[in-house]
Chains A and B, each alone.
Chain A
Amino acid sequence: MTIHQLRQAAENFFVEPYEFTAIGNSTGYSGSQMAQVIDAQGQIWCVRLWVDESIETLRFMHRVLQHSVAQGVCGLPHLVQNETGDSLIAIDSCWAEAQSWIPPKLDPWCTVAQADKSIVGGTHPQHRLRSDCRRTTTNRNFIGSLSCKHNKPANIGDSSSSVSSFQGDANGLCCNSVGGK
């Protein structure tokens, strides 16, 4: 049931094709259920289910994160919005979110069942992520590494034209600041 919910969340946040891997029991995420999604551009994302938290708590958390990332604070995940602009979606009795993948490698305590790994959708190279996630991936522009304390976007104050994000791969992460069009 949980994997089904995670898949549903991934479908809602990402455009096919993407690689989906269900991951269980990560201590880094308080043992919550989550999945790793690798999109067509090779960016890694984390889909997480929130079971006990209220929507007010989650919305507060997302507002703080979005504001902080827009101000160029490093070390925070970038939240994905679905096509209606929501960063939280209701699935059955819980809430789901998708954010940039922060850990440089998988938590050694977490479990990955190979059976839960799959490619979703076709292999068309022009597929793009939705919403601000799309802006992030299509306007990629490497600025600096994570050694910085604050990495401000090019146009602070105009969040519609600039976005700060994390780019990651299996071996590491770098903090990117991306100027908009």
Chain B
Amino acid sequence: MENENARTRNLRLTSGKEALINMWQTQLLQLAEALESQVTKTFIGSTTSVVCHGDLWPDHTYFQDAQFSGFVDFGALNYTSPALDLAQLIIHFGGWQTAHEALSTYTQILPLTKQDHALITQFVAWDLIHEGCWALQELQKEQLPEIEQQAHWHNLRFLLPSINVVKHEL
């Protein structure tokens, strides 16, 4: 009986993961198409330029208890629109639902141009595609350590709600 329950649980878990993968595959294609049509448009207008970390995600950002303690890994450091870091900050630390709060806080320090705002959505879309493809690819590896598998599944669940909204924002 106990074995039967465990088997049922495992089946439900497996089908839940399969459903998640299927959703991602469908959403990624749609997002890529929406992004493609967007980037081919000609933008007129200037961007602000600042120094950007360029690869902002939780593993590159350290906290001691609840307080920020530092950044690591500056290999993607860039002098470009703050849209790059803002997009990564939004998508990796709170999801697209935190975009408004993040941007209104940032613009108190430095105003953003219309072009910067447009770029944020594009960078977010690009990052979602990158993250999604990476996670799906990694999860196919047979020898992937359990901790990495968990991290990728978490990422896929966490980022999925953002895709739909971003797709329509593009």
A residues whose Cβ falls under 8 Å from a Cβ of B: 27-30, 50, 53, 57, 60-61, 64-65, 68, 74-77, 102-104, 107-109, 145-147, 166, 172-173
Contacts and interface: CB of A to CB of B under 8 A. Distances in A.
Contacts of B51: 64, 68
Contacts of B67: 145-147
A172 B75 contact: no
B75 A103 contact: no
B72 A29 contact: yes
B45 interface: no
B77 A166 contact: no
Contact of B60 (A28, A57, A61, A166): A28
10 contacts: A28-B59, A29-B73, A60-B77, A65-B74, A75-B70, A102-B62, A102-B71, A146-B69, A172-B69, A173-B69
A172 B64 contact: yes
Contacts of A60: 77
Interface of B: 51, 55, 59-60, 62-64, 67-75, 77, 145, 147-148
Contact of A173 (B60, B70, B73, B147): B70
Q: Is the interface of B mostly helix, strand, loop or mixed?
A: mixed
Contacts of A166: 70
B68 A146 contact: yes
Contact of B77 (A28, A29, A64, A109): A64
Nearest 8 pairs of A and B residues by beta carbon:
A102-B70, A75-B70, A27-B59, A104-B64, A61-B77, A28-B59, A146-B69, A61-B74
Contacts of A75: 68-71
Contacts of B74: 61, 64-65
A56 to B, nearest CB: 12
Contacts of A61: 74-75, 77
Given A30-B75, A60-B77, A102 B69 contact: yes
| Residue of B63, B72, B75, B147 with highest tally of chain A CB at under 10 A | B72
B72 A108 contact: no
Contacts of A147: 67
B11 to A, nearest CB: 29
Contacts of A76: 70-71
A110 B112 CA distance: 38
